[in-house]
């Protein structure tokens, strides 16, 4: 009976310590040190919530940069990829269809080299980034759809470079562009 009493007290102590005190402490520190990130890296436009830096959104309009394909239509609830293997006939058909659509949508030459992130969905289905190269392939379409002058088109090219994020710690990952942030900045471009 004494052993059971000791075990229950230890269980209660660690439940309070690891289930209440520690999470509250970590949450409090995060709110003070990293409030933007702790609250979901939310993006507001005119005091209205329009998304998060961390979750991709679908953009189909010719006047905006297109985002990466998503196997779950950018729905954060199921979060996941298609799980098709590289030898899957369905995956090969999807990639061929995505390539054809990207080339046609952006009025590119049939033999244009398309970055892989525009052909394959990410593992989470929520990736908000594309490569600067994929963004550059869309500049002519956007400039034409918005009736941009050559000066505005050059500003658009510079905008992509401005929004571009470097690899984390200069060596982890690749350069990338957040599509939501880029499209918000695009709307402000004069």
- Per-residue model confidence as pLDDT tens digits over 145-187: 999 999 999 999 999 999 999 998 889 999 999 999 999 999 9
Contact predicate 56/130, CB 8 Å: no
* Angle, in degrees to the nearest 10, between helices 179-188 and 150-163: 140
User: What is the pTM for the complete model shown?
Assistant: 0.83
Taking the domains of the chain in order of start, what are their residue ranges? 1-39, 41-188
Q: What is the pLDDT of residues 8-18, one digit of tens each?
A: 999 999 999 99
pLDDT at 190 over 80: no
Give 52's contacts (C-beta < 8 A, 6+ positions apart): 40, 41, 42, 43, 128, 180
> Cβ(110)–Cβ(154) under 8 Å?
no
- Per-residue tokens: 116: 């892989």
Taking residue 58's Cβ as centre, other Cβ atoms within 10 Å add up to 13
Which pLDDT belongs to residue 80? 81
What mean pLDDT do residues 119-134 have? Answer: 92
Q: Pick the residue with more confidence: 124 or 162?
A: 162
pLDDT value at residue 79: 81
Q: Report which secondary-structure segment, H or E, holds 129.
A: strand 129-130
């Amino acid at each position: 009976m004494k052993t059971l009493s000791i075990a229950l007290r230890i269980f209660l102590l660690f439940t309070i310590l690891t289930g209440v005190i520690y999470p509250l402490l970590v949450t409090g520190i995060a709110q003070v040190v990293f409030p933007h990130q702790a609250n979901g890296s939310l993006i507001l436009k005119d005091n209205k919530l329009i998304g998060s830096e961390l979750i991709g959104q679908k953009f189909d309009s010719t006047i905006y940069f297109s985002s990466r394909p998503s196997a779950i239509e950018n729905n954060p609830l199921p979060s996941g990829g298609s799980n098709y293997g590289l030898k899957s006939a369905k995956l090969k058909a999807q990639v061929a269809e995505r390539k054809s659509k990207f080339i046609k949508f952006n009025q590119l030459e049939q033999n244009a080299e398309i970055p892989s992130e525009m052909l394959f969905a990410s593992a989470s289905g929520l990736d908000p980034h594309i490569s600067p190269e994929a963004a550059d392939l869309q500049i002519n379409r956007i400039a034409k759809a918005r009736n941009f002058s050559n000066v505005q088109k050059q500003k658009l090219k510079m905008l992509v470079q401005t929004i571009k994020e470097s690899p984390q710690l200069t060596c982890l990952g690749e350069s990338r562009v957040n599509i939501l942030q880029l499209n918000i900045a695009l709307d402000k471009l004069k």
